[in-house]
């Protein structure tokens, strides 16, 4: 261990916490490998580049590297095509001395909906992570229990996290109550680190100092980590204030990675703290090298930066979290409503007074979809005047009338009673308690009426105060796994199954992508990954599994019938790839997937449908188990397609003499189990 190392993987939670507590220094946790990408680069930073920081981190004396979780997991399999399990393996190898940290959303883990406890526990048990930062967008501590149980049992460090915002209802008393619940859940404070997650970056110098001071008064030995985004432009003074009040760990990223919505710059924070007499445990030389290292590749990500740049102090009103900034603006830009963003942010700042929760995943998505939906609806129906009118109405109701519904005119009431009518399902589930209890009580009755219309009294009866941990029925892991295996047509690994549990559709697509393109996402440099080779003679060189490789472009042909011929030299050997463009005519071969689908066992010709005894089969015909349904000939060998069970033909998917592929769908048959059908089936002898 280098002289800066003080905690490392393999240490128990108690030992780690004690080392931090016993030190007179403060510590940095780097969020460069997780949140820097999420908050300023739409999660596009690739492990290929982030890995270059790992050897430096190994010597830097960081408390931990948050390299996992949040939206990085999902965007990894969906877009970057990086497997979070593989990332952990690569990072462990490159920085064995560093605690690896994840960010999980209590019952939603790395996904967006609450999973039942058995799914949560299963997934957590397969992930090799040392520090588990776990937050709830409702501060509903009950929801953390399944994660806490597995993490603590594995001897890993559990880092319960309170979501922080600055509102009239988020008093010291409120937060202390939440922390009391956490302490009860974790059986004390000796084996945990408490994180305050200021994901929008709204904690003022004074506010954050007071809060930490109050917490330290109640729990003097509790280690506090302060996680803060820079959106309001006031992160550094807030950090200093937190440090003075007794926070021990601060989240930072390389100064050269910093843009506007992520965590503060590490070198600057270190210098600022040192000047104030607070000593930071940091190998500054390694940190400076890391800052330089980032400059080598960050230029490849300009395309990924938020279309909206610059600090935004109005975040203190609308509270959009750092991680949602670039993606929301990207969506607005793609949806062609970028000009509505000021109005949407304004509506968000009013909306969060009607329904109280914390704007962090999945809450921030609910806020975003609900508010952008309302504004878009007004804009579409009534144009700019409509949007203005909407803001006026909400202003009057919330600010002027202090949400006194009865004080509004009849017409205004009616309008309010329709405002949430098109709200997304997640919003409906939220106010019905499907995610857990709201931190400051349920919204007023008119919100339910506005959302559900006349059915609202019945709906409100279904609302409950239980946690999803108690509410959700266990999923059958066996059934889910067989769904996955059916989708990918082979046995799944445990890791693939965990990916599937989080994001079923994207996981299947990722697995299929990986089978086709292998390790392209890990091996290729970012410029090639994004743009490919541009002109003949351009090449990319890399080492792979201990041997050198080179891919050189020889030529790219013109598009013809939706196909472009690309000639590559792979280690000097010519290889031609026929690349289908979006104009390519899709040859839509249906493959057999389900239990009722009868596949062709071989590539060949369907030269007979039916059998000699019975003649040709038709849709609706009953077949008995083992009866020949068709015959496929390949290289002069005949292959009998026998019915796997007794049933009725629902569909015949091929024509006579059609050339079929192995696995191509030939028939769909419905299983017959009733006794009536069995009467007419020849008995199996």
Partner 1 sequence: MKKEIHKVLIANRGVPAVRIMHTCRDRKIATTAVYSTPDRLAHHVYMADSAVHIGDAPPAKSYLNMERIIEAAHASKSDAIHPGWGFLSENPQFAQAVIDEGFIWVGPPPEVIKVLGDKIQAKKIAQSASVPIIPGISPVKDAKDIKEWMEKNAITFPIIIKAAAGGGGKGMVRVDSKRELVNAFNQAQSEALKSFGDTRVMVEKYIEHGRHIEVQIVADVYGNVIHLFERECTLQRRHQKIIEEAPSPSLRDDLRREICFAAVRLMREVKYVSAGTVEFIFDAPNKKFYFLEVNTRLQVEHGITELITGLDIVGMMLDIAMGKELHVKQSDIRPNRWALEVRLNAENPKNFSPSFGKITRLLVPQGPGVRIASGVYEGADIPPYYDSLIMLLITAGVDRDDAIRVMDRALGRNLRVEGVKTLAPLLLAIIRHPAFIAGEFSTYFIETHMDELIAAFRYNYSEDEVLKIANYVAEISALGPQKWM
Positions touching partner 1 (CB under 8 A) are: 44, 78-79, 303-304, 516-520, 523-524, 528-534, 540, 544-545, 547, 549, 551, 553, 556, 564, 566, 568, 570-571, 573, 575-577, 579, 581-582, 601-604, 611-613, 626, 628, 634-638, 640, 662, 684-685
Pick 241 or 328: Cβ nearer partner 1:
328
What is the C-alpha to C-alpha distance for residues 521 and 126, in angstroms, rounded to an integer?
Answer: 23
> Least Å distance between CB 512 and partner 1?
12
> Least Å distance between CB 551 and partner 1?
5
**To 5 degrees, how large is the angle CA 354–CA 471–CA 458?**
55
> Least Å distance between CB 327 and partner 1?
11
> Least Å distance between CB 562 and partner 1?
11
> Least Å distance between CB 77 and partner 1?
12
> Least Å distance between CB 324 and partner 1?
17
Q: Which of 268, 346, 356 is nearest to 314 (CA)?
A: 346
> Least Å distance between CB 257 and partner 1?
19
Pick 596 or 603: Cβ nearer partner 1:
603
What is the C-alpha to C-alpha distance for residues 233 and 34, in angstroms, rounded to an integer?
Answer: 21
> Least Å distance between CB 578 and partner 1?
9
> Least Å distance between CB 494 and partner 1?
17
What is the C-alpha to C-alpha distance for residues 293 and 285, in angstroms, rounded to an integer?
Answer: 12
Pick 239 or 301: Cβ nearer partner 1:
301
> Least Å distance between CB 535 and partner 1?
10
The one-character DSSP state at 664 is B
Pick 414 or 515: Cβ nearer partner 1:
515
What is the C-alpha to C-alpha distance for residues 110 and 500, in angstroms, rounded to an integer?
Answer: 11
Pick 180 or 638: Cβ nearer partner 1:
638
Pick 169 or 577: Cβ nearer partner 1:
577
Pick 284 or 530: Cβ nearer partner 1:
530
> Least Å distance between CB 622 and partner 1?
18
Lookup: tokens for 165: 């915002």
Pick 466 or 520: Cβ nearer partner 1:
520
Q: Which of 573, 577, 523, 529 is nearest to 547 (CA)?
A: 523
Terminal CA-to-CA distance of the chain, rounded, Å?
73
> Least Å distance between CB 629 and partner 1?
11
Number of residues assigned to the chain = 685
What is the C-alpha to C-alpha distance for residues 255 and 266, in angstroms, rounded to an integer?
Answer: 6
The one-character DSSP state at 265 is B
What is the C-alpha to C-alpha distance for residues 639 and 632, in angstroms, rounded to an integer?
Answer: 5
Lookup: tokens for 647: 């049933």
What is the C-alpha to C-alpha distance for residues 124 and 117, in angstroms, rounded to an integer?
Answer: 10
Pick 381 or 684: Cβ nearer partner 1:
684
Starting at the edge strand that comes first in sequence, how are the strands of the sheet with 622-623 ordered? Answer: 597-599, 665-671, 647-652, 622-623
Counting DSSP H helices and E strands in the chain, the numbers are: 28, 20
Helix, strand, coil percent content, the chain, rounded in steps of 5: 45, 20, 35
Is residue 24 a contact partner of residue 246, using CB atoms and an 8 Å limit?
A: no
> Least Å distance between CB 685 and partner 1?
5
The one-character DSSP state at 434 is S
CA-to-CA separations, 678 to 617, 628, 647, 648, in angstroms, rounded: 19, 18, 10, 11
List all residues 6 or more positions away from 656 whose beta carbon is below 8 Å from its beta carbon.
Answer: 606, 607, 608, 609
Pick 141 or 609: Cβ nearer partner 1:
609
Pick 5 or 626: Cβ nearer partner 1:
626
What is the C-alpha to C-alpha distance for residues 66 and 300, in angstroms, rounded to an integer?
Answer: 22
Pick 413 or 639: Cβ nearer partner 1:
639
Pick 417 or 569: Cβ nearer partner 1:
569
Pick 12 or 489: Cβ nearer partner 1:
489
> Least Å distance between CB 534 and partner 1?
7
Q: Which of 35, 34, 26 is nearest to 6 (CA)?
A: 26
What is the C-alpha to C-alpha distance for residues 534 and 552, in angstroms, rounded to an integer?
Answer: 10
> Least Å distance between CB 590 and partner 1?
17
Kind of pairing between the strands at 100-104 and 64-69: parallel
Burial class (CB in 10 A: 0-12, 13-18, 19+), 166: middle
Lookup: tokens for 101: 């940290």
Pick 54 or 75: Cβ nearer partner 1:
75
Pick 71 or 144: Cβ nearer partner 1:
71
Kind of pairing between the strands at 563-570 and 547-556: antiparallel
User: DSSP H helical segments within 396-476, as ranges?
Assistant: 410-416, 425-431, 445-452, 456-462, 468-471
**To 5 degrees, how large is the angle CA 59–CA 64–CA 66?**
120
Kind of pairing between the strands at 249-252 and 223-228: parallel
> Least Å distance between CB 331 and partner 1?
12
Name beta bridge partners: 478: none
């Amino acid at each position: 261990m280098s002289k800066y190392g003080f905690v490392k993987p393999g240490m128990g939670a108690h030992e780690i916490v004690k080392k931090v507590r016993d030190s007179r220094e403060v510590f940095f946790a780097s969020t460069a490998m997780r949140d820097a990408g999420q908050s300023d680069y739409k999660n596009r930073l690739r492990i290929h580049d982030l890995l270059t920081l790992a050897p430096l981190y190994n010597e830097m004396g960081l408390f931990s590297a948050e390299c996992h979780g949040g939206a990085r997991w999902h965007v990894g399999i969906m877009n970057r095509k990086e497997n979070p399990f593989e990332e952990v393996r690569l990072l462990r190898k490159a920085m064995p001395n560093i605690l690896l940290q994840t960010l999980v959303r209590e019952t939603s883990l790395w996904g967006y909906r609450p999973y039942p406890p058995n799914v949560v526990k299963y997934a957590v048990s397969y992930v090799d992570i040392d520090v588990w930062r776990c937050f709830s967008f409702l501060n509903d501590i009950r929801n953390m229990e399944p994660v806490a149980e597995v993490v603590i049992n594995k001897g890993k460090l559990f880092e319960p996290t309170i979501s922080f915002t600055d509102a009239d209802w988020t008093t010291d008393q409120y937060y202390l109550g939440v922390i009391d619940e956490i302490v009860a859940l974790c059986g004390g404070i000796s084996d945990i680190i408490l994180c305050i997650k200021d994901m929008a970056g709204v904690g003022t110098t004074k506010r954050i100092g007071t809060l930490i001071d109050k917490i330290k008064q109640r729990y003097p030995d509790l280690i506090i980590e302060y996680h803060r985004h820079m959106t309001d432009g006031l992160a550094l003074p807030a950090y200093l204030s937190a440090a003075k009040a007794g926070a021990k760990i601060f989240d930072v990223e390389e100064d050269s990675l910093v843009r506007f919505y992520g965590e503060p710059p590490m070198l600057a924070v270190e210098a600022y703290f040192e000047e104030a007499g607070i000593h930071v445990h940091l190998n500054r030389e390694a940190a400076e090298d890391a800052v330089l290292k980032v400059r080598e590749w960050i230029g490849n990500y300009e395309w990924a930066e938020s279309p909206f740049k610059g600090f935004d102090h109005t975040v203190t009103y609308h509270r959009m979290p750092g991680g949602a900034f670039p993606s929301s603006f990207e969506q607005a830009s793609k949806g062609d409503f970028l000009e509505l963003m000021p109005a949407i942010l304004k509506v968000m700042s009013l909306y969060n007074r009607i329904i109280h929760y914390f704007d962090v995943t999945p809450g921030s998505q609910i806020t975003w979809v609900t508010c952008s939906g309302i504004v878009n609806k007004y804009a579409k129906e009534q144009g700019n005047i409509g949007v203005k009118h909407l803001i006026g109405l909400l202003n009057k109701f919330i600010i002027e009338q202090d949400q006194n519904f009865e004080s509004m005119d009849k017409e205004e009431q009616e309008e309010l009673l329709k405002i949430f009518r098109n709200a997304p399902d997640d919003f409906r589930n939220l106010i019905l308690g499907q995610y857990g209890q709201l931190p400051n009580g349920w919204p007023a009755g008119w919100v339910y009426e506005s959302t559900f219309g006349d059915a609202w009294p019945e709906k409100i009866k279904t609302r409950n105060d239980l946690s999803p941990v108690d509410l959700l029925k266990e999923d059958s892991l066996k059934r889910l796994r067989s769904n996955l295996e059916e989708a990918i047509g082979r046995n799944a690994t445990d890791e693939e199954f965990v990916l599937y549990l989080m994001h079923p559709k994207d996981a299947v697509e990722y697995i299929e992508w990986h089978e086709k393109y292998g390790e392209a996402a890990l091996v290729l440099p970012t410029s090639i990954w994004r743009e490919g080779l541009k002109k003949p003679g351009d090449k990319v060189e890399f080492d792979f599994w201990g041997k050198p490789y080179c891919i050189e472009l020889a030529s790219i042909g013109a598009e013809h019938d939706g196909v472009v011929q690309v000639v590559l030299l792979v280690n000097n050997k010519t290889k031609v790839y026929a690349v289908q463009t979006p104009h390519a005519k899709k040859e839509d071969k249906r493959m057999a997937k389900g239990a009722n689908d009868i596949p062709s066992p071989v590539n060949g010709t369907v030269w007979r449908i039916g059998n000699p005894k019975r003649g040709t089969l038709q849709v609706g015909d009953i077949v008995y188990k083992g009866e020949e349904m068709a015959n496929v000939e390949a290289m002069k060998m005949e292959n009998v397609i026998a019915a796997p069970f007794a049933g009725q033909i629902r569909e015949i998917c091929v024509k006579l003499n059609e050339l079929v592929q192995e696995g191509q769908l030939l028939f769909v048959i419905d299983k017959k189990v009733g006794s009536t059908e069995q009467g007419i089936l020849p008995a199996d002898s």
